[in-house]
Amino acid sequence: MDRTGVKKAEFESDGGTAAAAAEYSRTYISGFDKLIIAVMVAVGLYFLALSIFRFIELFGVEFNTLVFIREIVHFFVGIALIYGAFRLVKKSTFLERIVDQMFEELLYERFEPVLREIATIHASYDSVSDQIKVLNYNVADLKKNMEMAPGAPVQMSTPSQYRRMYFLFIYVALLNITLAVYMFMIYYPQWYIPYLSPLLFVLWWVAITHEFDAWDNRPAWLWVFAPILVLPIYTMVFGLLTSANQMFGLMYVGLGIYVSLYYSWCMYTMKGILPFNLHRKLEEIEAEADAQAAAEATPTAAAPEQVPAPAAAPGHDQEQPKTEGGFRNGGTYRNGGTYRNGGTYRNGGTYRNGGEYRNGGSYTNGAGYEAQPAHMQSSSGLAERLARVQEELGVLQEALRSEQAVSARRPLSGKKLATGLARRLFREMKGKKEDS
């Protein structure tokens, strides 16, 4: 069977002409065309119903020839309108289906490498955009930490410590308020339970959103609407089916799960980290999976043929070791018997970076000391850290702008854009043919 036959068989076996017509009518027919089709069907049904009732009156009460002819005209007009709407939907979906098949068979295979590259660029663009958002939040948080408390010495306290104490106090106060409110509702269950229960969820949401400054994050607002919509119905239904203690127990457990999930989500969205360093484990798992996939995708090269070694010259040992067991460069030390770089240490006898450790006395990735040196805790040290972070932010923004420029120069932005161009060309050709 040829390629067209395969496509046709797949199309017929995927759900029939009716299902495909319904799918493509939702995809290709515009809103204005749908409105016209709906008006045609409504007017056609109106004419049909009106004609049927008039026929019943004519044959049942009194027959009138002029009225009979008029109602026959109305009846056929209604049928014509309904049939025209059906033909319009069928023709539009059928022609668009042909255009799609032609595009997939003729053009898509040629543009497939370009489209794959565009998809890769968009994926990298999204990744860089997420990194910039996280970095912007970290820069803003670092600026807040640089605003020192008035009259407080640097060695004793920092704004970050005050900030942690402030939110810790808020969470402890909210926990006490939550326990008190639940105890009050258990001992005095009244009409206010469906209204007071969502209020506790909203208070916890406000506290966590204030800590991470996620007011401009739209998905964060979905977290507050969920308990407002669910809890009133939950209290009414479970109040009738179970006892009050069971209902409040489930609600209290649900509040704990809600707070934990929302706090973890805000931490991952705004800072890019998870509790208990789970994000590092996930990154390691993803890196291992990517490395394994790359190793499986790369074909293994054939092993080179072993060339037999030539026979040793007379007077030499045939079992002389190759590379191992002997000195390099004919048994002498490298660089004529002296150490590397003329017998001196690297960088003129001093350690790397002028005798200081890297990263200001702390090891990379927090593997060593947890505290920063005294000069890094001061305002000048924080300014130095902020300058480094801003430099990284500039590099990421430059990479993002370059990705945007490359994407803008692309002739296509994906399969949907190419499909839309093909449809537009087809409509223009169709319009010119109708005009001629």
Every domain of the chain and the residues it spans: 3-126+413-435, 159-280
The distance from CA 254 to its chain's CA centroid, rounded to whole angstroms, is 27
In angstroms, the CA 65 to CA 68 distance is: 5
Average pLDDT over residues 302-309: 48
DSSP 213: T
Q: What is the pLDDT of residue 408?
A: 56
Q: Which residues contact 158 (CB under 8 A, 6 or more apart)?
A: 145, 148, 377
Average pLDDT, integer, range 348-362: 43
Helix, strand, coil shares of the chain as percentages rounded to 5? 75, 0, 25
Q: What is the pLDDT of residues 54-69, one digit of tens each?
A: 888 888 777 788 888 8
User: How far is C-alpha 364 from the chain's CA centre?
Assistant: 30
Q: Where are the alpha helices (DSSP H) in 298-414?
A: 328-331, 374-377, 379-408
Q: In the chain, what percentage of residues exceed pLDDT 90?
A: 14
**pLDDT tens digits, 336-346:** 444 444 444 44
**Alpha helices, H only, 213-243:** 218-241
Q: Looking at residues 284-313, what average pLDDT do you find? A: 64
- State the pTM of this model: 0.40
Amino acid symbol at 44: G
The pair of structure tokens assigned to 244 is 């009050």
Q: How far apart are CA 420 and CA 417, in angstroms?
A: 5
CA distances (Å), origin 104, targets 196, 239, 386, 414, 419: 58, 58, 52, 13, 9
Q: Closest Cα partner for 200 from 221, 216, 217, 185?
A: 185
DSSP three-state, residue 384: helix
Per DSSP, 91 falls in state: H
Cβ-in-10-Å burial (0-12, 13-18, 19+) of 193 comes to buried
Q: Note whether 114 and 407 are within 8 A (CB).
A: no
Residue 12 has what DSSP assignment?
Answer: H
pLDDT digits (tens, 9 = 90+) for 386-429: 777 777 777 777 777 776 666 555 544 445 555 666 666 666 66
| DSSP secondary structure letters along 317-354 | -TT--SSTTS-HHHHS-TTTTS-TTTTS-TTTTS-TTT
Condensed to tens digits (0 to 9), the pLDDT of residues 111-134 reads: 777 777 787 787 777 777 777 777
- Predicted local distance difference test score (pLDDT) of residue 425: 63
Burial class of residue 131 (count of CB atoms within 10 Å of its CB; 0-12, 13-18, 19+): middle
Helix (H, G, I), strand (E, B) or coil at 375: helix
The pLDDT of residue 413 is 47
Closest CA to 105 of 8, 33, 193: 8
pLDDT(263) > 90: yes
SS3 409: coil
Give the best-scoring range by mean pLDDT among 129-143, 152-166, 239-253.
239-253
Q: Are 386 and 143 in contact (CB under 8 A)?
A: yes
Rounded Cα distance, 195 and 202, in Å: 11
What share of the chain has pLDDT > 70, as a percent? Answer: 59
